[in-house]
Structure 1
């Protein structure tokens, strides 16, 4: 029996939707069509949603290619890249390309995608104005970055923020103009949007919220934006990223039914029975599409119909959103907020860690989720939404994640991979389901994440789903994975301890060196690893490494802490809690001059000026510095206070000069950056009025000398100190304390307080090195003093001298 002759399929559009349809078609009917593909760009099929990673320098263009030219050849597909179709003749059933080539078809697939939405602004046609849609746009932006230009991005949505961060990552000063008061308002609620803006501001982006662009300034080329309220934003590069609109020009000229998009039915067929359409160009039941997940479903349905299966029906899937900015975790799906009294909202906030979660419930089912800072359970919540699962029984604990839900089999990252449906989407970038991953593992005998990536593309793009893919792999193969130290962040599988060892072993002296040598996944690191690496390098190479101020938390950068109303708290240092009339007058004068509303004595025997406005910070610190007052590092990962009592100088019970010793300790340790905050205290007698036994290092004066205690914590998890040693002299107190501090600095993990460090290594281990080993103690103390000689204290008032308003905002803005 002779095989049926192949029909001719022409695909107009070499993008993600069109070629995904071809992939699906080849999988189910590989011999049905001779396929010809036309693409407007001179490239093979690539992952457009990863352009932001190319712009940011995290990936090269070759890394985002989905199907190479060899793939087209292997599948006998005629590819005409860089030759767009300019006309379709539905009567003759032909397409005509820009080159003049005419190709007949039996079936036509229109996947013409979308065009960037360009507002009707004066000056929009000036050189220096670009959209953000394709590789050519990225190349133009990279050229501007190499020229050291300034950029402004119009649009604070998903695409605009990814463009802005990519340009910032390339070293450009970048401002974002957004019409609304909340970033990504279509995907985030007000609180999550505020957290996002705060984090991006700390990374160096500037925001003009509520900014309606009136015109692009310039005559010969773009020179910036003028806003409707009179504000001006100078720039050499203007990036327009306010949205997209379906590219329907070809379909309209061919006489197909077109509304906002190319109108298709449930089988992705247009008004012409021989023509199908998929992707951002289509309109289905009044809806157009800008995210990738619906495109994968459309491709499956269109491929099924092209293969002869008329039963396949397209239903728009539930959608979720993630932001591809390294170190910033955002997830949203479904409703952003309760819409009426029938809806409930469950909200969790941890301001200190920058974590926010909101779940929206209706009739015992999860219908919406917004997450910021911790999105580990995003896939689980999304699964519950897709399945319309009854969550009534877990309502009281589900906000805390799947770890608190009643599931027996949990995968890595909190995912219950055994309970996941086969059609649950795991990889959003490449539209890979759990069933596809399981099938590939089973049929091809895959045993590693790299093999799964190669055969399914799951986690091969942004990598955010890698932990889920690994969990599925472990579940299918049944292999027991031995527990290992958690990676310090998502950029590396190496632990804090391993990274610290390699910094010294490989003589790595910059963050770029560390990331390159140790195979960081993201070239710029993330919000978790940058502060840690900055600290580890300061500690390892105090004389050579230059502190990276932008890798510090904002309160360390400006020597002030933001309060809940947006003002700041300023704490000048008072050595050992001692002050003078002149210092008190200076503080009072500053409080009067700047109308600071609250002046408070802290628990650490200092004075806190609360309610300082952001723009007042440079002048406040300048006036305090003139009086000899320096930063108290009130919120730093460093030495905070050395609390003292009045001791033998004034107290009838005092046995030693606790105040004088406290001042000596504080002056010796001032400016020392540490893994976490460090507090000391010196009590003049065993009555312990300075509360030395709940400090990181405490000194208790006794008749015979001084008892040194370590590892205390007076916070939520109260921990009493462990006794280290009794010494006879103040010099010994300084040496022992300096040695302990240096060993802690060299061994503790970033953001590990001294109390858990002492518990982890054991007090006996510390005693062996500080008490029993005199030479080792002296060496550790010497290393501490050496590092102090190079301590980069970075006085705030000195750093902001001479800065204009724009530069100051770049340094200090947190809103």
Structure 2
């Protein structure tokens, strides 16, 4: 359509019909009126029986913070003053493009020269049983709010399905109205489209502190009712939640029904060009119903930009709409949250993260090629608009990079061009460490008195020794005070580059601060990256499993791929699997099962491993679940040749067959393997039992080795037969098989509880010393029994010991083990790997 600005004297106005009396339709009309008020006779159809109001302010209305009158955008007087015909409460049912008119539900026919479709979006209704019960509502308009308010007047329980922006705002409003609210969200992170894991965790924690129940990773199976009225929901795992009202806030879809029926080109939304023109040059579209350059927008900022481009076009201006960079804020009082741009990271991206646990502040900015491409702010959003402006400009921020994370005041003023300058400007009375009440003057005096490293400062005056939030400031004071003499080296090796804490400090603080989730650890201990790295996530997952057995749920995505898939990836992209053979023993049934798998899946190689097992090579990834199903059917489970866990127990034939055998080494090996299999460890763990001092099973280069002698069993620890060969240290000698098993369980548990993640027993013992091991196990009264009980070996344990409780609850027929440790069989995670 060719629009020309202005008209000849006496020329009739063009007829503009707008379908949609919402924010997009009316804003487009406002923009047109501002440019050329005499161009159109305007008629607006609205399905709702009211004037135009601010839909994004429905949340404050629900929460009781605003009234409807306060969110009205265009009053009845506005329509009259601008000669606009408003037809409210009469939905348009049909667009007749041939005759250029629209037909409303009332039968009213309205001709047009130009048609503007601004139908917005429709709430997505999950098609589950019970979705049409009375009491199931959406959250899109004032009528929905009225239904929720009516339910809240009666009190009771509310369930909100969807933990996105609208869902959380609905939950907040209902909670303020006195209802007991449960939020059910399919994804593991709230507002996952706007927030990263860390910010999502903080939001969840705050909402739970306010009394809401937040269920993430929860899929709704059905909505239940009695006599047509909703009474509750049921989740896929069988959990039932009572509900007097259920709010469906599971997402929106562009409302394209009218446009599709009229034959306009549609995909997810109504297709438009840069001037908001559809496939029909006489029909325009704007707002949430449109698709522009492959994208549909559900936020208000793009809507305004579309309307400006549309108005420019119809009034003759050459500009166009090029797409939007979006930002999000949560309208929940007392929660400051801001998100903008792309924070998914990836190749070429760099994260700058600041965490202040004491204030509940988390900030993350994402850079690529020295440009800001994303930002997430929680707890302090004062600089949100500034970051958003930088993001939209797309200019280099290299000159303010050092102070970027601290906000506009610091970065723009150049205060942090030297990161130490702000610290140098602090007075001696300024508090550096809030946890321990240490001032700058005290830290400086500590350094001058000889504490020349971070660890020395921590041990002397305790600054940065607790939560760690002031670590960077203490390091700045070290650099300022010592000058060139400060090398910056830390005595304790950090867990990884994401943190200033070492393994021991992380394990200690997880217990002291009762940290029970990976995002919580990262927030409280001030991780410098948003989601950790390949080094720290598996370590944190393991430490949390150790710290909170029975409470913490193993995080599969923090496992190495081999552990998730129960197979070793090979250089050609195929996998090898190792079924377990207890103590190296096998049977005709097991051998047939292996042979059948090799033939069925065309495995090109079967090899005997160094641990006396059969390794099946060349298995395709897609065949892994079926391979394990076939092996499981024969009673075979994973040999764990690919996990940080027990690998194998190697044995010789011992006294049953060997002329020199002194004890039943094979039988003991089977028992030890059944006792320890499936147990997660800091690193791979190998055991061997030799039936005599000739040591055919090579027990003296294993993590735990048993050498049978005439008078009993010699126990050895800390061997390694890998790249760096290390012979074992002699731990002790015991007289019975039972004692040997109990000592193995005790040693293994001590290693699990105290070693660093990815630290084999050999370097662990070299680090702490053999005497320390002996003191822990052999000197302390009843220590062996207690450690063995925590491993799950013995029934004789304290009922208050969480390790033991978990062991008791998950004891299996063939073994007793801590069930923070999963039996290695086929799992859903494996199938989805």
Relative to the length of structure 1, the TM-score reads 0.50
Contact 2:402–2:411 (Cα < 8 Å) also in 1: no
Q: CA deviation at 1:207?
A: 1.1
Give the aligned partner of residue 273 of structure 1. Answer: 281
Pairwise CA distance, 1:348: 0.3
**What does residue 224 of structure 1 align with?**
232
Mapped partners of 2:43, 2:512: distance in 1:
62
Post-superposition Cα deviations, 1:589-625, rounded to whole Å, max 9, x if no partner, equal: xxxxxxxx9xxxxxxxxxxxx989999xxxxxxxxxx
1:335 positional shift: 1.6
Corresponding position of 2:364: 358
Q: Does 1:386 align with 2:337?
A: no
What CA distance in whole angstroms lies between the structure 2 residues aligned with 1:367 and 1:176? 31
Instruction: Determine the structure 2 residue equivalent to 1:255.
Output: 263
The worse-fitting range, judged by mean Cα deviation, of 387-396 and 323-332 is 387-396
Where does residue 91 of structure 2 map in the other structure?
A: 84
Partner in structure 2 of residue 370 of structure 1:
376
Within the alignment, does 1:312 sit opposite 2:319 as a pair?
yes
Shift of 1:388: 0.9
1:358·1:369 contact (CA, 8 Å) conserved in 2?
yes
SS of the equivalent of 2:308 reads: helix
1:298 aligns with 2:306: yes
Give the alignment partner of residue 163 of structure 1, picking from 150, 167, 170.
Answer: 170
For residues 179-226 of structure 1, what are the alpha-carbon distances to aligned partners after superposition, in whole Å with 9 as ceiling and x for unaligned? Answer: 011101111011100000000111111011111000001232111110
Distance 1:117 1:326 in 2: 26
Separation in structure 2 between the aligned mates of residue 318 and residue 101 of structure 1, nearest angstrom: 40
2:43 equivalent in structure 1: 36
Counterpart residue number, 1:349: 355
> C-alpha distance in 2, partners of 1:238/1:344?
41
* Of 395-404 and 15-24, the range deviating more from structure 2: 395-404
Match runs of 1:523-562 below 5 Å = none
What is the alpha-carbon distance in structure 2 between the residues aligned to residue 224 and residue 400 of structure 1? 46
Mapping of residues 491-640 of structure 1, within 5 Å: 563-565=514-516
Partner of 1:117: 124
Q: Which runs of 5+ in 2 are unaligned?
A: 1-7, 416-510, 519-542, 553-833
Q: Do the aligned partners of residues 28 and 408 (structure 1) sit closer, same or farther apart at CA in structure 2, a change above 3 Å counting?
A: farther
SS of 2:353's partner is strand
**In structure 2, C-alpha distance between the alignment counterparts of 1:15 and 1:300, rounded to whole Å:** 16
Aligned-residue offset at 1:303: 1.4
Tell me the distance in 1 between the aligned counterparts of 2:360 and 2:22: 37
Q: 2:443: which partner in 1?
A: none
SS of 2:132's partner is coil
Supply the distance in 1 between the matched residues of 2:303 and 2:224 (Cα, whole angstroms): 38
Q: What is the match of residue 141 of structure 1?
A: 148
Match of 1:51 among 52, 55, 58: 58
CA deviation digits over 1:732-766, x for unaligned, max 9? Answer: xxxxxxxxxxxxxxxxxxxxxxxxxxxxxxxxxxx
- Contact preservation (8 Å) 2:403, 2:414: no
Unaligned runs of 5+ in 1: 410-559, 568-596, 598-609, 616-815
Could you say what secondary structure the match of 1:396 adopts? helix
Aligned to 2:221: 214
**2:134 maps to which of 111, 114, 127:** 127
> Are residues 1:74 and 2:25 paired?
no
Partner of 2:297: 289
Q: Deviations over 1:27-49 (max 9, x none)?
A: 00100000000000011000001
Shift of 1:4: 2.6
Contact 2:162 2:185 in 1 (8 A): yes
Q: Which residue of 2 aligns with 1:417?
A: none
- 1:222-258 Cα deviation digits (max 9, x unpaired): 1111000111111110000011001111111111111
Aligned residues: 422
Deviation at 1:408, TM superposition (A): 9.3
Secondary structure of residue in 2 paired with 1:397:
helix
Q: Is the 8 A contact 1:46 1:64 kept in 2?
A: yes
Q: Map 1:473-492 onto structure 2 (within 5 A).
A: none
Secondary structure at the aligned position of 2:94 is classed as strand
Aligned-residue CA RMSD (Å)? 2.1
- Give the drift of 1:350: 0.7
Q: Are positions 1:244 and 2:252 aligned together? A: yes
Inter-partner Cα distance in structure 2 for 1:76 and 1:295: 24
- Pick from 109, 112, 115 the counterpart of residue 108 of structure 1: 115
CA distance in 1, matches of 2:24, 2:551: 48
Question: Compared with structure 1, are the counterparts of its residues 191 and 176 closer, same or farther at alpha carbon in structure 2 (3 Å cutoff)?
Answer: same
Q: Tell whether the 8 Å contact from 2:24 to 2:286 is kept in structure 1 after alignment.
A: yes
Q: Which has the larger radius of gyration?
A: 2
C-alpha displacement of 1:153: 0.2
TM superposition shift of 1:562: 5.3
Question: 1:172 aligned to 179, 186, 199, which one?
Answer: 179
CA distance in 2, matches of 1:156, 1:35: 39
Q: Check the 8 A contact 1:337/1:345 in 2, yes or no.
A: no
Per the normalisation by structure 2, the TM-score is: 0.49
Counterpart contact for 2:293–2:323, Cα < 8 Å: no
* 1:712-745 superposed Cα distances (whole Å, 9 cap, x missing partner): xxxxxxxxxxxxxxxxxxxxxxxxxxxxxxxxxx
1:185 aligns to what?
192
SS of 1:23's partner is: helix
Runs of at least 4 residues of structure 1 off by over 4 A?
610-615
Separation (CA, whole Å) in 2 of partners of 1:401 and 1:613? 42
Partner of residue 619, structure 1: none
Query: Counterparts of 1:790-809 in structure 2 under 5 Å?
Result: none
Shift of 1:563: 2.8
CA distance in 1, matches of 2:161, 2:74: 32
Deviation at 1:305, TM superposition (A): 1.9
* 2-structure distance, mates of 1:72, 1:408: 51
Equivalent residue number for residue 663 of structure 2: none
Q: Residue 407 of structure 1: CA displacement?
A: 4.1
1:324 aligns with 2:331: yes
CA distance in 1 between partners of 2:12 and 2:273 (Å): 28
Give secondary structure in 2 for the equivalent of 1:267: coil
Question: Are the equivalent residues in 2 in contact too, given 1:44–1:81 (CA < 8 A)?
Answer: yes
**How much has 1:286 moved relative to structure 2?**
1.3
Q: CA deviation at 1:337?
A: 3.6
Residue 412 of structure 2 is matched in structure 1 by: 406
For 1:397 and 1:286, locate their aligned partners in 2 and report how far apart those are by CA, in whole Å.
Answer: 36
Does 2:12 match 1:5?
Answer: yes
Q: 2:596 — aligned with what?
A: none
Query: Does the CA contact (< 8 Å) of 2:131 and 2:223 recur in 1?
Result: yes
Secondary structure (helix, strand or coil) at the match of 1:403 reads helix
2:241 aligned residue: 233
Alignment partner of 1:167: what SS?
helix
Counterpart of 1:8 in 2: which secondary structure?
A: strand
Q: Distance in 1 between matches of 2:100 and 2:516?
A: 66
